[in-house]
A and B are shown apart, each in its own frame.
Chain A
């Protein structure tokens, strides 16, 4: 952006600031309390009005949530998602100006196990959140991250969307909703399950093994993000919700956008940061907080006593350079401090991004990444940068006789706990197998392939994450078995390919 201009702007403001009672730019009467964008100072009352209006305008404009639809709010305890929760509460209240008309529920994922929190700590935080959720009267689900170990494979399979709902469907849904007794929509469900879910210690240990098998904080955060997403989708599906509401602020999304690019997730940017994300087919994620900056949210929460709970995360108390995510955050917030339009500039860029592979009917057919469920970005032409990377990787991995450069140095060669595809190799000494020469050596196909085979099922970004893992053996079973299923399917497809009249069209043959 234009540096000179922004510098000049900053100087100007500093010069005019000192008089204490600056007036609100909106009502021009009350004294200002919050500076929203450079120069825009609002009083308390106008700020509140502006904040509330923005939420309903965002939902109204996008018309993605239907009246009477069940919407699951993903609340992390942090300021942004708690602010979202309070806006939903306000919007649903009887005397709201532009009343919201959906049926909310809350999901919270307790990640304490992955962070190594003690059972007591987790109980304490859980109780705090439980009290907060109970006060809303909405049904809520407190889900320990450990449950990711028991997920069914269907989580990583795209489900058909209920129906493509055009604009007219929205109107008729509104009418239907108005006709039906709208007062029934807010009956607080009886919360029988008041006790927090028990977590098996062995599950926590398995989860910790998984996290520990990831060597970098960057990849850990990325993996945790994926697992969290799976659990959200699963909870929504099993509890009958069709929308998932995420609390990403525009500051967070700006950081996410730059992070995603650094992590090689460019192909998914539009879905990762846009208003809605339909990669799971039946469950659509929406981000109604994406017009708010982190600052606006924190000020609002403070001024109007919106409760939130501080939940430690993987990057709590870490330095600026501990992970790509953290570093990007530092970069963006620092830049924002000096150039107040940084976040909005990045954010506006994200708005211009289009989701590829969506408009056409191929959307449901294109191959999806096993982990993040985005359309696979690895099936590209030979002249791509991705292909070049691949070739150079293959080169560097070609076997030099005698040398063991192929073996990616493993930090800690832990004994495998579960190796579903490791039936080939009966001997457990690694040296034993390593000595076998010729392609497709025993050990090579029993251990390495776990990673390499998995790789073909992943998008570029997820491949990078897997690369930072010492082993994929600790992956939850649902991922491994879905991987196996997909491999079998593609094998079968390959075998019968010459007998097929028309590939790509195997499920609607209709005879």
Chain B
């Protein structure tokens, strides 16, 4: 059993509109048998945070193209993207680069 972890989520570039305009979220992820990874986090965000229009945030099991992801201020492409295993106090940022958010 992995212990619950707290993470810091941030949405920008218009992506925050899908989360009732709130940019920063402090979240505690419940404990589960395996450690949390990004793929699971996206599912969790969809179920717990996303307020509307999921198709504007996720596509398939990843984020919609045009939305950037930073994990602790680094490009998630360097960290294995969906396979990245979340650590306690991780800082994860989603920025939309799409016109109009």
Contacts and interface: CB of A to CB of B under 8 A. Distances in A.
A1 interface: no
A144 interface: no
A326 B64 CA distance: 14
Q: Is the interface of B mostly helix, strand, loop or mixed?
A: mixed
29 contacts: A17-B80, A18-B80, A18-B83, A22-B78, A33-B75, A33-B78, A35-B77, A41-B75, A41-B78, A79-B97, A251-B97, A252-B99, A298-B13, A298-B97, A299-B68, A310-B14, A310-B16, A310-B101, A312-B17, A313-B100, A316-B14, A316-B100, A317-B100, A318-B100, A319-B55, A333-B97, A333-B98, A336-B65, A337-B66
A54 interface: no
Interface in A278-336: 294-295, 297-299, 302-303, 310, 312-319, 325-326, 329-330, 333-334, 336
Contact of B95 (A298, A313, A315): A298
A316 B70 contact: no
B99 to A, nearest CB: 6
Contacts of A302: 12, 70, 73, 93, 95
What 4 pairs between A and B have smallest CB-CB spacing? A333-B66, A294-B97, A337-B65, A316-B100
Which residue, B78, B93, B101, has most C-beta atoms of chain A within 10 A? B78
Contact of A315 (B66, B75, B100): B100
A456 B87 CA distance: 64
A149 interface: no
A33 B71 CA distance: 10
Given A251-B97, A315-B100, A34 B75 contact: yes
B79 interface: yes
B68 A312 contact: no
A291 to B, nearest CB: 16
Interface in B48-84: 53, 55-56, 65-66, 68, 70, 73-75, 77-81, 83
A252 B99 CA distance: 9
Contacts of A44: 73
B80 A33 contact: no
A20 B98 CA distance: 28
A145 interface: no
Interface of B: 12-14, 16-17, 53, 55-56, 65-66, 68, 70, 73-75, 77-81, 83, 93, 95, 97-101
Contacts of B74: 32-34
Contacts of A316: 14, 17, 100-101
A329 B98 contact: yes
A310 B19 CA distance: 14
A126 to B, nearest CB: 18
A35 B78 contact: yes
A300 to B, nearest CB: 11
B68 A295 contact: yes
A144 B79 CA distance: 44
Contacts of B81: 17
A79 B95 CA distance: 10
Given A33-B74, A312-B101, A329 B14 contact: no
